[in-house]
């Protein structure tokens, strides 16, 4: 099985190179959007062969452990990243996504991913989130450290070209508000804002197509919305850290662009 997948992986890498000859590194506009709003969607990053292989892998997960028959709304699969190649990890590391994310945090180095989340949103689910949350706080790491990271990378495997298709909801600019709160109250107050209640801009639903790449700041408030479409929404998420992030997390949550120097530079150029 391992040998067969390695053959498939090499073929997918070759197709990926042919379909994406130019690395879609981030433009100044995209960097400024990330800096100001806390998220950005990069179109057409993942080649179709990688999407197809990942969809088949998710089909296997569902067959092995199907959602309850009456399930509507969110259903997750959390997969540890092993040494063996995996079509889900290939979405990130065998596509232009990896270099794109590296370009967001340069000159910092992007650490290898530790886990992948498959996020399903099963219709029909008439739901509107009451507010946002911040990841990694309800279950801290074994050391007691909050589970902070650098950037949330989401890869769309199904289209979400209109609202209420299981879209992710984001609260634009809330990463700056969170950082200001933590500068005032100290970084350990992060545990107090699992579900932040400070004033924020109105939420927006993230739109995109299969193959698009969503990049979200760790402190950006977000949540999952309802799905009134006829399609199960599929997104694969990676919670990525710059190397040594765990050593400087307290500084990171008080300076929201500390690990995003290219975004800071692009923002400064526009001023």
Per-position pLDDT tens, the chain of length 271: 334 434 434 544 444 443 443 444 899 999 999 999 999 999 999 999 999 999 999 999 999 999 999 999 999 999 999 867 899 999 999 999 999 999 999 999 999 999 999 999 999 999 999 999 999 999 889 999 999 999 999 999 999 999 999 999 999 999 999 999 999 999 999 999 999 999 999 999 999 999 999 999 999 999 999 999 999 999 999 999 999 999 999 999 999 999 999 999 999 998 8
Phi, psi dihedrals of residue 222, rounded to the nearest 5°: -155, 165
Tell me what percent of the chain is helix, strand and coil, each rounded to the nearest 5: 35, 20, 45
| pLDDT the model gives residue 84 | 74
| pLDDT the model gives residue 29 | 97
Closest CA to 152 of 18, 39, 33: 39
Question: Residue 221: helix, strand or coil by DSSP?
Answer: coil
Distance from C-alpha of 91 to C-alpha of 227, rounded to nearest angstrom: 24
Helix (H) or strand (E) segment spanning residue 255: none
| pLDDT the model gives residue 88 | 98
Distance from C-alpha of 53 to C-alpha of 20, rounded to nearest angstrom: 17
Q: Which pair of structure tokens corresponds to residue 244?
A: 């040594």
| pLDDT the model gives residue 270 | 86
> Please, is 97 exposed, middle or buried when counting C-beta atoms within 10 Å of its C-beta (0-12, 13-18, 19+)?
buried
Tally of CB atoms within 10 A around 186: 12
- Name beta bridge partners: 80: 115
Q: Which residues contact 265 (CB under 8 A, 6 or more apart)?
A: 31
Q: Name the DSSP class of 203.
A: P
| pLDDT the model gives residue 93 | 96
| pLDDT the model gives residue 20 | 40
Q: Which residues contact 230 (CB under 8 A, 6 or more apart)?
A: 123
């Amino acid at each position: 099985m391992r040998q067969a997948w390695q053959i498939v992986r090499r073929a997918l890498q070759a197709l990926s190179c042919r379909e994406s000859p130019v690395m879609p590194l981030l433009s100044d506009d995209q960097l400024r959007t990330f800096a100001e709003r806390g998220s950005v969607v990069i179109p057409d990053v993942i080649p179709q062969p990688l999407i197809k292989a990942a969809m088949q892998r998710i089909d296997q997960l569902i067959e092995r452990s199907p959602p309850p028959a009456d399930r509507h709304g969110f259903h997750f699969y959390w997969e540890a990243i092993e040494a063996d190649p995996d079509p889900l990890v290939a979405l990130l590391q065998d596509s232009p996504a990896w270099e794109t994310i590296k370009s967001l945090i340069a000159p910092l180095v992007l650490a290898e991913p530790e886990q992948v989340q498959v996020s399903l949103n099963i219709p029909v689910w008439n739901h509107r989130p009451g507010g946002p949350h911040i990841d990694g706080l309800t279950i801290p790491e074994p050391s007691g450290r909050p589970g902070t990271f650098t950037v949330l990378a989401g890869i769309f495997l199904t289209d979400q070209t209109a609202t209420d298709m299981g879209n992710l909801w984001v609260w634009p600019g809330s990463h700056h508000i969170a950082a200001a709160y933590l500068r005032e109250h100290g970084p350990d107050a992060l545990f107090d804002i699992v579900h932040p209640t400070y004033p924020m801009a109105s939420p927006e639903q993230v739109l995109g197509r299969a193959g698009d790449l969503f990049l979200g700041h760790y402190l950006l408030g977000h949540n999952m919305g309802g799905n009134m479409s006829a399609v199960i929404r599929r997104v694969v998420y990676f919670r990525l850290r710059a190397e040594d992030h765990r050593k400087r997390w307290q500084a990171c949550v008080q300076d929201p662009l500390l690990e995003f120097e290219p975004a800071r530079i692009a923002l400064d150029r526009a001023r």
